[in-house]
Each structure stands twice: as structure tokens, then as C-alpha cells.
């Protein structure tokens, strides 16, 4: 695998167009299994996780191709309901295929999913919901067997507003006669985008974006064309990159309302954020940033856990002390040790990190431990003095489309070495 060579200290300046949302396109790709026809998805980023999803679709018998930012899936000839262990382990969100396969085929056979190692991310909520809908589930020898031939509508109360569980229930219930209700559903914009995709295909789903979602079963879904929403986490990352390097950035194809939990934190740190017109946002940060008192990761619309690591990289050179509490995953501070190699002053205690800003970070040889931690190290290297070498960049490729090309277009000195 390759690495990035990054020489820091150059302010980013220019404009970019934001890629489509990874966390929206992946469940939508799973949802194409439900359509006895063709799905055409626009604004799809070229990511490792998208490639992994297309492999799963082909394994199930679909025709699935990506050309530029357009993905076409023909699921009219599904030939299987089992996903191999190798494919399941490529990414965590592979488990969302269970709901779609169960609804379309009546069966699903999978192993436990992979993805970044962020600590316990139990699928118990998914399985509990499936069983409430009448699915018979057997777990043995590392495999999960689902018999969904007698699904029934149910009122499902999630103990935690899990994004994946909410999506899986929506997919599993699309063809179930009657009305299935999800209480304490996840509210993320990506849930609403999944609802919009399915409804365009003929589903009857209401309430996404709120805490209760209703799915009224329909007999079938038709071919559909859909445009994926912009990626709010990638948008936040590039905004923070501009702040770290004391630059100026204009982002097109962005939805600021999806970032209500993020933008106030950047403004608190001294960034100037403007909204020239719909779909456009700009940021200026000419001076050294100030600290932020307390940031706590929370389900949407709170501060997203996926933006926690890039924020920490930004705060590492802020003036003053900041505190971040990670409430979603217990192993999401892997980037801390690597930031310390670059001169950051960060102390952690369980799920709490205290960041005492230093004047400047120094280039170093560091390694990404997960997707967002890798993005954080990339930001830290952009703002540091000297040259850094960042390893395991394939993890960054899971969520960021050609980041070296985008950053180079803004004046960064960054090179991918294979």
C-alpha cells in the first residue's frame, strides 16, 4: 500500500466541489437490491467502500458499474442471498445488506462485518429488531442465518438511535404488509436520503429526519434515478484543513444545514464562515485559532463522532486548552499517539481528551489507525513545519475521494507514493 508525503506550512486557498456522502451512498447501494430493475445514482464518490459495495452487488448477481460519479445497478437478476466472508470484512456497513436481502429474497446468510476497529459496535440492535419483525435468526460457526419468509409489521423501539439499525429496519420492512414503526430512530441526513431514494422507487416511508419513522409495505419497487447528498463529514474535514493552515476556502455542493453541530464550533475557535448563496460555504482563518471549551460527540444533530479526530488535529495548535468527550465509540482516540509524535500536547482518560494547544506541530512519520484518524493526521501534517510521511492511506481512501489531488489544487504540498 502507499503513503502520503506532506510538506506543511502552506495556507490552503481556492475552491472545491464537495463529493457525495459515503454514509448516504452505502445504504442506498444496499437498497438497490430491492429494485427489480435499474437504479442510477449520481454524485457517487469513487471510494474504496463504494467499490466494496459494488463487489457485493455483483456477488449477489447484480450488474453494477461506476463511471465517474454515476453508479448504475441492475438488480433484476438476483441470484443469491449470501455474502462471502471476505466481502463482509471489507467494511462495517456491509451488514445493511441483510435487511435488503431478507426483504427481496426471504433469506440472508452473512458473517460478521468488518471496517475500522473503533471498539464495540454491536449488531444486537439489528438482530433484536429483525426478530421483532418475525425473522428467524440462527447464529453458528461465525455465520448468521436469517429466514425472513414470514415478516410482519412491528413497533420497534431502539435502545440507541443507531444509524445502521434504522437503515436495516427500513430496508427489511419495505415489502412487509402493514405499517412498521421505528421509535428513537437515528435522525441523520443520510437516513432521510435513503428514504427519498426508496420513495422515488415507489416505497411509502415517512418521518425520516425525526425520531419516528413509518414504513408502509408496498408490493414492489420500480427503476429510479437519484442524486446522493453532499458529504458533511468530508466538508467539515476540508473546512478544518483550511483552519489548520490559516487559509481561505470556498466549498460548492455543500448543505450547511447538515452541519449545524459542526459550524458553531469552528466559529467559536475564531473561523469566519460565510454563506454567499445556496449550496456554497466559505471559511477564512487568518490568525491562530482559539480553543473551544468542551465538545461532546453525540448522535445527529449533535457534534458527529466522525468529525472528532479532524477537530482534534485542528485544536492541537489552537491557543488554549480544549476538551473532547467521545460518547459514541470507546476506541476512537487511536490518532492521539500519532499526533503526539508530531509535538501535540494531548492527554486522554477513558473517553475524554484534553488538548493543550502548542504553537506548531513538526513533521513526522505517522500511521493511520482508522479512516477519520487518518484524515486528522493528514490535516496535522498540512499545518506542521517540515515534512511528514503518512502510512496506511488506504484507510483514508475509504471515505475521501482523491484527497491529495483536491488538497494540491488548493496549494498543499502533498504526494501519493505507491
Active site residues: 116
With beta carbons less than 8 A apart as the criterion, state whether 295 and 312 touch: no
Q: Give the C-alpha separation, 70 to 164, whole Å.
A: 24
Q: Of 171, 169, 185, nearest to 131 (Cα)?
A: 169
Q: Measured in whole angstroms, how far is the alpha carbon of residue 311 from the centre of its chain?
A: 16
With beta carbons less than 8 A apart as the criterion, state whether 63 and 40 touch: no
Sheet holding 272-274, edge to edge: 13-17, 248-252, 280-284, 272-274
Task: Show Cβ contacts of residue 26 under 8 Å, excluding neighbours closer than 6 positions.
Answer: 49, 50, 53, 91, 93, 96
Q: What cell numbers appear for 102 in the block?
A: 431478507
Helices 22-31 and 48-59: crossing angle in degrees, nearest 10, is: 10
Q: Measured in whole angstroms, how far is the alpha carbon of residue 277 from the centre of its chain?
A: 26
Amino acid at each position: 500500500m502507499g503513503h502520503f508525503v506532506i510538506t506543511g506550512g502552506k495556507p490552503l486557498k481556492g475552491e472545491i466541489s464537495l463529493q457525495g456522502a459515503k454514509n448516504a451512498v452505502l445504504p442506498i447501494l444496499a437498497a438497490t437490491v430491492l429494485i427489480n430493475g435499474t437504479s442510477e445514482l449520481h454524485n457517487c464518490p469513487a471510494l474504496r467502500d463504494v467499490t466494496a459495495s459494488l463487489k457485493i452487488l455483483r456477488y449477489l448477481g447484480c450488474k453494477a458499474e461506476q463511471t465517474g460519479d454515476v453508479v448504475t445497478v441492475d438488480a433484476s437478476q438476483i441470484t443469491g442471498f449470501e455474502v462471502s466472508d471476505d466481502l463482509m470484512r471489507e467494511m462495517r456497513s456491509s451488514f445493511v445488506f441483510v435487511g435488503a436481502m431478507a426483504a427481496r429474497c426471504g433469506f440472508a446468510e452473512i458473517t460478521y462485518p468488518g471496517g475500522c476497529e473503533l471498539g464495540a459496535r454491536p449488531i444486537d440492535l439489528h438482530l433484536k429488531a429483525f426478530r421483532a419483525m418475525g425473522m428467524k435468526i440462527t447464529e453458528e460457526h461465525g455465520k448468521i442465518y436469517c429466514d425472513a419468509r414470514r415478516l410482519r409489521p412491528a413497533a420497534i423501539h431502539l435502545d440507541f438511535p443507531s444509524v445502521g439499525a434504522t437503515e436495516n429496519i427500513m430496508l427489511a420492512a419495505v415489502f412487509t404488509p402493514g405499517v412498521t414503526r421505528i421509535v428513537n430512530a437515528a435522525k441523520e441526513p443520510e437516513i432521510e436520503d435513503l428514504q427519498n431514494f426508496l420513495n422515488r422507487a415507489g416505497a411509502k416511508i415517512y418521518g425520516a429526519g425525526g425520531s419516528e419513522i413509518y414504513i408502509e409495505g408496498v408490493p414492489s419497487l420500480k427503476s429510479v434515478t437519484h442524486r446522493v447528498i453532499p458529504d458533511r463529514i468530508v466538508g467539515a474535514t476540508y473546512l478544518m484543513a483550511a483552519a489548520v493552515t490559516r487559509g481561505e476556502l470556498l466549498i460548492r455542493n455543500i448543505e450547511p444545514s447538515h452541519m449545524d453541530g459542526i459550524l458553531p464550533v469552528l466559529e467559536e475557535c475564531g473561523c469566519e464562515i460565510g454563506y454567499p448563496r445556496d449550496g456554497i460555504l466559505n471559511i477564512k482563518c487568518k490568525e491562530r485559532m482559539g480553543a473551544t471549551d468542551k465538545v461532546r460527540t453525540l448522535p445527529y444533530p449533535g457534534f458527529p463522532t466522525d468529525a472528532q479526530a479532524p477537530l482534534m488535529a485542528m485544536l492541537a495548535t489552537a491557543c488554549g486548552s480544549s476538551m473532547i468527550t467521545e460518547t459514541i465509540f470507546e476506541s476512537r482516540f487511536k490518532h492521539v499517539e500519532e499526533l503526539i509524535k508530531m509535538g501535540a500536547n494531548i492527554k486522554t482518560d477513558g473517553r475524554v481528551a484534553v488538548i493543550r494547544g502548542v504553537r506548531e506541530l513538526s513533521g513526522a512519520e505517522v500511521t493511520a489507525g482508522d479512516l477519520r484518524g487518518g484524515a486528522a493526521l493528514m490535516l496535522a501534517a498540512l499545518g506542521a513545519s517540515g515534512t511528514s510521511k503518512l502510512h496506511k492511506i488506504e484507510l483514508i481512501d475509504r471515505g475521501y475521494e482523491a484527497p491529495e489531488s483536491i488538497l494540491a489544487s488548493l496549494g498543499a504540498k502533498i504526494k501519493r507514493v505507491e
